[in-house]
Structure 1
Amino acid sequence: MQTRVRRLGGLAAGVLCLALASAGCGKSAPARFYTLTATAGSEQNPGDVAVARPAGVECTVLGIGPVELPAYLDRTQIVTQGGTTSMHLAEFDQWIEPVHDNFQRILMENLSGMLRAGPLVSHPWPVGMHPERQVAIQVRRFDGELGQQAVLRAEWGVFDADGRMLLWRQTALREPVNGPDYPALVAAQSRLVTVFAAEIAQSLERGR
């Protein structure tokens, strides 16, 4: 009797495995990876974001950083807002590199095309480099809602070579997401970084 029960149990398990296999169960969808891109001068009109480069202005070394992002972004999954107090982690839509590194790199790429400045260096500074101006950034929010909008909120300041604060600003930006999926959301976030770079560049130019 026990032998018969074991045989029936094994047969049932085999049938279940075949059913799962035919339904495609047990196979996870492939992950999709994304990166922010520098959009100054490409997706947008360069005249909309580029800062004038006055002739005869001496080039200076500009340091970007430290750049701090909130802890909820310290993950590979793309984070979206699901409601007033809820957040969603995308299971198969992920960043190709840490968001902090991606954000800072693309910010600097945008700034390099907007400013009349010498080398742009990221924090911690390379050996032998001493920026004459430093932009420190605290990002408070960098996410969005699929098919709705992307949001960037940050506080940032400009400091001289002696660490004296020259200005402090708060930035609150929103950008429409032109599509229902993650590629559209990441594209909107890239545009936010471009606009943020333009805001920093304009403040630096006015402060010369």
Structure 2
Amino acid sequence: MKLIHLPVAALLAGVLALGGCAKLSSPEQYYQLDSGVTELSQRSSGVAVLVGPLDVADYLQRNTLVQRQADNSISLDSSARWASSLPDDINQVLLRQLSAQLKSNRLALYSDQAGMEPDVQAVVSINRLDSGPEKPAVLEAQWRLLDKNGKLRDSRVVQLQEAHTGTVADQVRAQSKLLQELATSLSKAVQADTAKLASAAKAAEQARKRQLAAEEKPSSRQIPVVEPVRNRGDILRF
């Protein structure tokens, strides 16, 4: 067997090259959306809301962060990853924000709805949620409110935008802010719809009470008295 001897300088150069490559490849960073809520409502008498189902665009359902480039092309940052499932993170932001803004803890995710009888259901579709080093964070979504019978009560298409400094961390902050604004839009719609339903129920109850009162009130019409007719007959004397 013939041994091949390499110069020491060549070996050192190879080691240094490998070390340089190791330094160039940055370590993975993990990120999570921020719900912006420090304390949840403890009220058990608030409106009952079922959040979901949530539909998230296919291009967002991955572990790596999506980066939108200046030419609107999409790339994946292999060094920036979500700490958990992005749809799960979005669900938690919406759930916690709605609980805080509606001042109610009677909320549940669509996947955990067992035994819940919601007053309203919020169905959400996320068509776009991304940003880039030179692109602002953009959210394009649609939400629909359904009543307890599945009837559509309200719907809206939302497009929001938030600036950032360009770093991945600030991009995640900006995306979190957009989801918080989406939750605000939803909570206002839930409050308006709940108030409308309560007003309609109150009006119906008042109308029912007036109808019952009218039926129980005695009639003021005078019923004519029928008197026997007396005929004067001739008195016969014998």
TM above 0.5: yes
Partner SS, residue 207 of structure 1: helix
The whole-number CA distance in structure 2 between the counterparts of 1:201 and 1:151 is 20
The whole-number CA distance in structure 1 between the counterparts of 2:105 and 2:120 is 11
For the pair shown, the structure with the greater C-alpha radius of gyration is 2
**Pairing 1:36–2:33 present:** yes
User: In the alignment, which residue of structure 2 is the partner of 1:202?
Assistant: 188
The whole-number CA distance in structure 1 between the counterparts of 2:131 and 2:17 is 36
Determine what percentage of the aligned residue pairs are the same residue: 24
The answer (yes or no) to whether the contact 1:63–1:125 under 8 Å persists in 2 is no
The answer (yes or no) to whether the contact 1:110–1:194 under 8 Å persists in 2 is yes
Deviation at 1:192, TM superposition (A): 0.6
The answer (yes or no) to whether the contact 1:111–1:198 under 8 Å persists in 2 is yes
**Pairing 1:184–2:184 present:** no
TM-score normalised to structure 1 length = 0.81
After the TM superposition, which residues 8-157 of structure 1 pair with which residues of structure 2 at under 5 Å, given as runs? 14-15=11-12, 17-21=14-18, 23-26=19-22, 28-39=25-36, 59-157=46-144
The whole-number CA distance in structure 2 between the counterparts of 1:111 and 1:138 is 16
**Number of residue pairs the alignment of both structures matches:** 188
Higher relative contact order (CA 8 A, sep 6+): 1
Deviation at 1:201, TM superposition (A): 0.7
Moved more, 70-79 or 146-155: 146-155
The answer (yes or no) to whether the contact 1:76–1:94 under 8 Å persists in 2 is yes
Runs of 4+ that moved beyond 4 A: 8-13
The whole-number CA distance in structure 2 between the counterparts of 1:202 and 1:96 is 30
Letter in 2 for 1:123: Y
The whole-number CA distance in structure 1 between the counterparts of 2:172 and 2:120 is 30
The answer (yes or no) to whether the contact 2:48–2:119 under 8 Å persists in 1 is yes
Query: Which runs of 5 or more residues in structure 1 are unaligned?
Result: 43-57
Partner SS, residue 183 of structure 2: helix
Partner SS, residue 139 of structure 1: strand
Kindly report the root-mean-square deviation, in angstroms, between the aligned alpha carbons of the 2 structures.
2.4
Deviation at 1:103, TM superposition (A): 0.8
The whole-number CA distance in structure 2 between the counterparts of 1:102 and 1:82 is 24
Partner SS, residue 24 of structure 1: helix
Report which of the two has the higher share of helix. Answer: 2
After the TM superposition, which residues 149-168 of structure 1 pair with which residues of structure 2 at under 5 Å, given as runs? 149-168=136-155
TM-score normalised to structure 2 length = 0.71
The whole-number CA distance in structure 1 between the counterparts of 2:34 and 2:109 is 18
User: In the alignment, which residue of structure 2 is the partner of 1:55?
Assistant: none
Partner SS, residue 174 of structure 1: strand
